[in-house]
Structure 1
């Protein structure tokens, strides 16, 4: 979601309008920091008394970072969605390193590293800027990946300004791969980015729907529907030879991931016997425009065909969730289809994306793909950005196809109406004879749309009101339909509180001052999103 300075005044907040500016700031004055700082092979305290309070830095509290000899010691935080470096931007911080804290002969420097935290080896594609520091005094250091010299650990990585996968920031003092010790004090960290380099291009920065699969058992039936009805007489389309079932044997959530398992087994359903089973899930959420992120690991085996994709909510396909809800007005491909990821087991490390419209469908010409190493042994981030003007597909931040037809009409662009998500693993007739089972494993799906940052907090359909707002201690909820659960997010999109709602109020006294998003789930499973300010 759009990042705001977390300590602006109330009068400014109430007059807030959407701008092209993205700001993150951290001054460490509060016991609980705004950012989710962590330490790796080091010690960190985000609320330490300033040991050198002077005109260069008169703050009362700062962050202390102690490298006590860790080989790759660093501190950092993860950031949602990603750092936008495509336009004017700057990272800034104050740092003080006492000379008495240093051992060894490492260079006096600070490194700011950006990584893709979704990779199994996040450092493998990192980009880094190194700046010298002066000991025994507070100083301000800035980092700009457009103007400063940067180092790509992988020389094949694109320039940082072209990447959309950088979601982890690390700070490292006096180098790495050593056992030297150093203590650093850090204050007034900030990141400022001008998102206005592409006028008119939407910034999808608020999570509107997600499943983190942090439960155990069948899929959440408030979010997912098992599509099992054979739509083409006694079979599925495209020559697929499996039954899709609603059994936990074919779709199960465990250990933080969803497993859609294709199996070789004899199974009879709807009077038809087949030799393979799998699962096909429809989301009970449909949306128009946004960014979809799916972190997934793919199955293996010639004849397997996993897909992460969308169809128009209006599709006329008997047995589909939205068809059952009465939205079935339009045949395929006039509904449009967006294939975020398709993978064929006979081309193991190649994934592709495709667009199906009346102008080109089936063996569509509107397709592109890329090689993805370890597609079936490591998780990768599959992303689609869908705007009113173009649709872009990428893997781990690397774009492989953009659809932007010169003429947008019903034939080329049926993409101004809602689409819904599908996950499935199909089995094709060329399946290997020794195939037994293999799974499509999904860590999460997150859908982002543009955030309306008006803080008027008008009632949603006149059904829900929050008060007082701003709030110090107790946030009350007034609703015509009983609210059952709540989820509170900070402005980085991080979930910081979730619980069943009791007595229509929430104790927020432990939250730091700032701006928060609250999602309320009523007894009908409707989701309402509002904003509140903690004073």
Structure 2
């Protein structure tokens, strides 16, 4: 008998590296999660109008520069795009001469950018290739062999960079209003192996949902889970020059159609003897925790001067009117209590979101900050995620990491994050608010907190554990199960915690089709009557 710790065990996998593949044939075989357009029109499911022996594909991407100044299309990679001497981007392209105006050079540009910067183009590297009209042709881009342009001459050689995570394509240059229509197919790139396995194999797996609000009941918020913080902490005002009243009225916070609606409004409102011209809401969770994953799915408000945030504060903060201070926990001033900003968004920088840490070593205009561009921050829901480990914080949106905080020295000055924190949701109003602003809403689909399972120490046979092979997997992997596990249920999750498959073990050998999985990490969890085990599966 072996003593095995059954708290979400990982299957530790040794391998030399993972080769990154970015590809899309626009017929359903893709490792690219989403394409976007910028001052261009795009259709990624367009019938190929020029089928021939050079490209018999039935579906292609249609690109149209409708007289925009820039007319870019592109996509973001969830991991860094790493180049070496053999790394080549390739694609097929057809530009009909009948769809051109002006006298621009017939060319296609491929640009690599760091989307985490507020101006991703400022440090881009670019290759420009001329193209022929009225024929399918394959165009390749090699940053080791082709001439490239670093927009910032001080940028390192592209092969030395590890911060590229966005690919941008552009036809016939920029700063012109000429029209061009093109058809693109079979985009492909294979990068160099990453030096390390993604993540840290010694990290805990945050797989147990310990607190949540799905906002399923229409009406007022659940006051068993949330507290309205309304008291003005500075007598007649809030911090940071904010000019709103936070209220507990249903006009500012209500649940409807499965979402929390946190509404900032332009209206005259008097409270605590103070009259203000704007109202909003600030919620404190009545749950505090140490370490884990926080996942909030939200669509952000708009308007210059709006300042929505999803964040955490130390349960021990001294803050007049805060829930935990009211409950007697407040014994530490800010920033010694620690602050974790999962998401901040400013209406005067519409599509940029930021994450930050405030500690005694750096606070206010903190140096511990990172962010990324989210083109649809206010028109679509996105998953804002914090993974809080004992030694670092990892911030991401929809699985795309934009900032990791891991100080070399952890002490009270740099790491006040070994004690409980609680969640805050709010939209502040800044003094620069647009005078035409009327109201805007932060919509939240759910708030979820996961932590490591705590099932204690159990004595089990080592043969009870599942085994997956091959791992890493390409098109399939086989789960080998002990007899004791037959009849038990297996669940497979992606890194966002989304369930992608579940089944009952009927045989000691179960083959799983992984051909449609995107490259990355997945978690396979077996749930028995007394034990739970979690394994990590890598899809190449």
1:228 maps to 228
Residue 23 (1) aligns with residue 20 (2) = yes
Point out where structure 2 has 5 or more consecutive residues left out of the alignment: 1-10, 37-41, 239-244, 470-475
SS at match of 1:469: strand
Residue 517 (1) aligns with residue 522 (2) = yes
1:531 maps to 536
Which of residues 300, 324, 337 in structure 2 aligns to 1:335? Answer: 337
TM-score of the aligned structures, taking structure 1 as reference length: 0.52
Give the number of aligned pairs.
468
Contact 1:212–1:443 (Cα < 8 Å) also in 2? no
Residue 79 (1) aligns with residue 77 (2) = yes
2:417 maps to 415
In structure 1, how many angstroms separate the alpha carbons of the residues matched to 2:111 and 2:332?
49
Worse-matched range after superposition: 430-439 or 31-40: 430-439
**Cα deviations by residue, 1:375-405 (Å, 9 ceiling, x for unpaired):** 999689999998988989999x9x999996x
SS at match of 1:191: strand
**Cα distance change, pair 236–289 in 1 and its aligned pair in 2 (3 A):** same
Deviation for aligned residue 1:530:
3.9
**Cα deviations by residue, 1:86-116 (Å, 9 ceiling, x for unpaired):** x86875245567xxx7643997765434578
Residue 169 (1) aligns with residue 167 (2) = yes
**Cα distance change, pair 503–339 in 1 and its aligned pair in 2 (3 A):** closer
Which of residues 273, 278, 281 in structure 2 aligns to 1:278? Answer: 281
**Cα deviations by residue, 1:156-197 (Å, 9 ceiling, x for unpaired):** 99998889684x53557888965566675556x32336567x
**Cα distance change, pair 354–203 in 1 and its aligned pair in 2 (3 A):** same
Query: CA RMSD for the aligned pairs?
Result: 7.6
Which of residues 354, 358, 376 in structure 2 aligns to 1:355? Answer: 358
In structure 2, how many angstroms separate the alpha carbons of the residues matched to 1:259 and 1:112?
41
Contact 1:208–1:448 (Cα < 8 Å) also in 2? yes
**Cα deviations by residue, 1:353-375 (Å, 9 ceiling, x for unpaired):** 66243x787xx575799999999
Residue 237 (1) aligns with residue 239 (2) = no
- Aligned pairs for 1:61-76 within 5 A: 66=60, 70-71=64-65
**Cα deviations by residue, 1:272-323 (Å, 9 ceiling, x for unpaired):** 8997562314396856499999987456688x76544322356688997889
Contact 1:102–1:180 (Cα < 8 Å) also in 2? yes
Contact 1:41–1:71 (Cα < 8 Å) also in 2? no
**Cα distance change, pair 414–278 in 1 and its aligned pair in 2 (3 A):** same
- Aligned pairs for 1:281-360 within 5 A: 281-282=284-285, 286=289, 288=291, 297=300, 306-312=308-314, 331-333=332-334, 334-339=336-341, 355-357=358-360
In structure 1, how many angstroms separate the alpha carbons of the residues matched to 2:539 and 2:374?
45
Contact 1:127–1:151 (Cα < 8 Å) also in 2? yes
